[in-house]
Structure 1
Amino acid sequence: MQNLAGEPQPPETWPLARAYRGEVFVQHELKVHRRDTGQSFIGSYSGAAVRDADGRLRLGIITIRDITEQKRAEDQIRQLAFYDPLTGLANRRLLEERLAVALAQAKRQGSRLAVLVLDLDHFKEINDALGHAVGDALLVEVARRMRSTVRLRHRRPSWRR
């Protein structure tokens, strides 16, 4: 078994081992690899120990639910909420969130912060004269060039008016 970061988990941390030790746990997520099919999925698991009247451990019970589709949907919602669907660049909403964090951090550290704003001159005229398909192609190309020249750690929010 692996955690969601893809790191192998030692057997003593596996759900059944934890349940046998008497631990009660809920809603942990991990990547599960099925030996019988060779398929992997993201599982949400919970477990508990079953004890007899004298308090002796009788068995451990776990349930694992495949939440792969739920995780895909969450990723898609996050992508739609924070990234421009045409260019794939971060949008104004993500810019505002990251800028607020960066400003607070700069204030705490007593440091400065710079923001670069890029404007495409006469973009509206290009869109109006040549059509939205050409305007979209221009935005996609500008985004591609930005990604190829700006280091990954730098943020590239984008929004269209």
Structure 2
Amino acid sequence: MIGIGRVLLQARLKHGFSLDEMHRKTNIQVSYLKALEEEDFRKLPSPFYARGFLRAYARSLRLNPQQLLEQYEIHVMKRQPKRMDTSNKHGVTVKHKKTSLLRRPKLKQKPAFPAEEMNQLPPRRVVFAAKKQKQKKSHTSLYWIGGLVLLVILFMGLWYFKYFGLFL
């Protein structure tokens, strides 16, 4: 199997790009591009960024990023210890499952409210009635403001016509 870095280097040279051109094309620092081509992933900020840089670099070279990401995961898994055993505070050895570096482990979701609290919540009609009443208050104040503006305009018009002698 050809390494990730070699695939990237060969594809870049095949397309005739320099590292500076790839930097401008992908907005990835030249040092990080070199690290990817040399497969020195320790120079990259974190595995999260390494996967993102690898994906962007592969797409810009018209390579399949998924294949390279799978190779990257295998490469990183080789460097990690095979058994992930730890001892808890009681001295009991606990085995942890390995999770894929590409996917997050699925977590069981807890309901937003426990069943007991759901019974204590007000019925929906009460909540909607409160919202409607609040909306009515805001509409009522708008009507008052609009009415006052109309009255001011009316009095100004009457004053104008009376002052200039054009009163009907």
* TM-score tier after normalising by the smaller chain length: under 0.3
**TM-score normalised by L of structure 1:** 0.19
Higher strand fraction (1 or 2) = 1
Larger Rg: 1 or 2? 2
Structure with greater proportional helix content: 2
